Amino acid sequence: MTRILVTNDDGVFSEGIKLLAARLRPLAEVTVVAPDREQSAMGHALTLHRPLRLREIGDGVYSVDGTPTDCVSLGLLWLLKDTPPELVVSGINFGLNLGDDVTYSGTVSATFEGTLMGIPSVAFSQEVAKSFSFERSADFAAGLVEVLLRNELPEDLLLNVNFPASEPHGVRLTKLGRRRYQQSVVQKLDPQGREYYWIAGKPVWDESEGSDQDAVAEGYVSITPLHLDLTDYRGIESYRWLQEQLTSVG
């Protein structure tokens, strides 16, 4: 029996995860383990300093009062520990996760956790603009999962998929784009006259041919293969000077 663990960061009651799980159920035994409330921009946070509650709220559907990473941990290390799934899927997120977003994104971080535990993992995110359709994207996601399940997958498979709001022209394999924030922190005063801060700002994308941002802007489904080895291999050579200068330290 093929099994799929489904999670997200928008919460177990969000439309994106309900539709995704529904479309995947004809393909596999689906277990949904997702946060009991929105946990967007939680990144790869793991809850270690308090207990977690796992509640079965439907047939094979569980909520957790924790992060997306907590959900994958409870899914893989507890609920499915004797029957590991073939795939971990996350989403469909309400909003894109492009470029540097992947490091903040709970949606994508959940798939980091799946891959770290040796399960091929795929994150799905949706551009929200006029004429977007979770139904259309969930159909596409199920088609992609069906194709993946027909193939022998490397256990470190990690795909970040973003859907354009419009009907897609096709699919592009892409690299992560680069984004700069024009204004990142706003300072204001509260009613007591004390300063408070709000992290905000308008993203500006670098022009970058072949990026995920480009593909979605041009109306394509973007599939970015990721890996979790953050090593800068060129740096092992190019930072030799650091090693040399440190021989005189300490």
- Positions in the binding site for Mn ion (CB under 5 A): 9-10, 40, 93
93 or 115, CB closer to Mn ion?
A: 93
Residues counted in the chain: 250
Scan for tokens 């990026």, then name that residue: 211
Residue 74 CB, nearest approach to Mn ion (Å): 19
Residue 240: its H or E element: helix 240-246
Closer residue to Mn ion, CB minimum distance, 43 or 80: 43
CB of 43 to Mn ion, least distance (A): 12
Considering only CA atoms, which of 119, 158, 156, 126 is closest in space to residue 141?
126
Return the number of the residue (40 or 73) whose C-beta is nearest Mn ion. Answer: 40
- Shortest Å, Cβ 209 to Mn ion: 28
Backbone angles phi and psi of 239, in degrees to 5? -100, 20
Looking at residue 43, the DSSP 8-state letter turns out to be: T
Closest separation in Å from C-beta 137 to Mn ion:
14
Q: Which is nearer to Mn ion, 28 or 114 (CB)?
A: 114
Nearest distance from residue 128's CB to Mn ion, in Å? Answer: 11
Q: Give the closest residue to 9 by CA, choosing from 30, 29, 37, 28.
A: 37
Residue closer to Mn ion (CB basis): 93 or 174: 93
Task: Name the closest residue to Mn ion (Cβ).
Answer: 40
**∠ at Cα 66 (128, 7), nearest 5°?**
50
